[in-house]
Structure 1
């Protein structure tokens, strides 16, 4: 009667969920902290909300009773205390366990008991507070750098009209350093603009002359 049917018990798996906060970060450090697993769910671009995090949704759908979800730290799983509690609860309801490597904490079906909830709330609140401090320090660092004239931000580009003005000033003998300061850019930006415009102008007026020899 049971011939040909797979009645073997479910083989529990250990999976990893990793997430970056910006596109210039990589996942290798998190994977190294988590260690060997059966499957990895990678969130390569940080999402602003739960709906943006497709890898997390896939991970929650995938896990089953007895599985373990390893995460490098609480702030990699959730961006707020509310999200943290909701995600852990969703995974626990499927019979799986969440293990946070940095905090050395594990939450599963018993996460609903008083002590489990207390620890989750305390550590989650601390992680959220830590993120707020980091954002404040970054903002303060930018303010200080701006006040000192050292914050570059996004590289400024000169408009064609500004480049024409720069050429006229330089032609009258005004030093390029002074011209750059007047336009609010550094010398490298001015030089690039002058070189680019010069090539474009030459190409439009005499394509043969502009072509590389």
Structure 2
């Protein structure tokens, strides 16, 4: 039987708002194969690329990951994934933490380091989420949080048409009504005023 040729593979995870794939691959370095996950969160069952990576590796292979938080979302998840890879005789190498874990490295100190570093990574993610939530609260309190675009009421659309008809710039009208210019333009184009409808013979004529 032909002996297995050991390989080094990369596991990278990016989301639609976190496009750092190039930075991860640059940190990981040359590998034989890349497993890319495009997922910002979700459960373990949603991570199809991770499942393929674990199925792919064989005894002696190395799975390189840019950092622990790219591989797992919690300490328990981290331990489970490392145990699965190690159970196949492969090792997991974390570039940022400069740590490698596998079947031959399950000593007490190695397990302690894995738990400590995983806990720090989980704590760091919690702090980031808290800072993001706090930032959103601050912006909301200052009245600058966009979220879903504000819509104009029929009365506001009528007021906007009257102001524009008198020569007031649309930018000024939008600012006065508390919406962006795109919202104002859509409102002006999408709902003609009753006066305009009567004045337009094409719209007034019966079909």
Distance change >3 Å, CA 58–CA 173, structure 1 → 2: closer
2:14 matched to 1:24? no
Match of 2:115 in 1: 121
What corresponds to 2:158 in structure 1?
A: 168
Gaps of 5+ in 2: none
- 1:127-156: CA deviations, max 9, x gaps? 000001111111111111112222222333
CA contact (8 A) 2:27 2:66 kept: yes
TM-score relative to the length of structure 1: 0.80
Q: Does 1:98 align with 2:95?
A: no
Shift of 1:24: 2.9
Q: 2:50 aligns with which of 40, 47, 56?
A: 56
Q: 2:81 aligns with which of 72, 79, 87?
A: 87
Q: What secondary structure sits across from 1:64 in the alignment?
A: coil
Give the 3 Å change call, closer, same or farther, for CA 64–95 of structure 1 in structure 2.
same
CA RMSD in angstroms, aligned pairs only: 2.6
Task: Count how many residue pairs are aligned between Structure 1 and Structure 2.
Answer: 192
In the TM superposition, residue 172 of structure 1 has moved relative to its aligned partner by 5.2
SS in 1 for 2:64: strand
For 1:25, what is the secondary structure of its paired residue? coil
Note the residue ranges of structure 1 that are not aligned, 5 or more in a row.
Answer: 1-6, 208-213
Give 1:165 deviation, angstroms. Answer: 2.0
Pick closer, same or farther for the CA change 1:189–1:93 going to 2, 3 Å.
same
Could you tell me how far apart the structure 1 residues matched to 2:117 and 2:150 are?
A: 42
Task: Please tell me whether the aligned partners of residues 63 and 91 of structure 2 are also in contact (alpha carbons under 8 angstroms).
Answer: yes
Deviation at residue 197 of structure 1 after TM alignment? 3.5
Of 130, 142, 147, 1:153 maps to: 147
Change (3 A) 1:171 1:13: closer
User: Cα gap change, 1:102/1:84 in structure 2, threshold over 3 Å: closer, same or farther?
Assistant: same
* Partners of 2:201 and 2:149 in 1: CA distance: 29
Change (3 A) 1:98 1:126: same
Match of 2:16, SS state, is coil
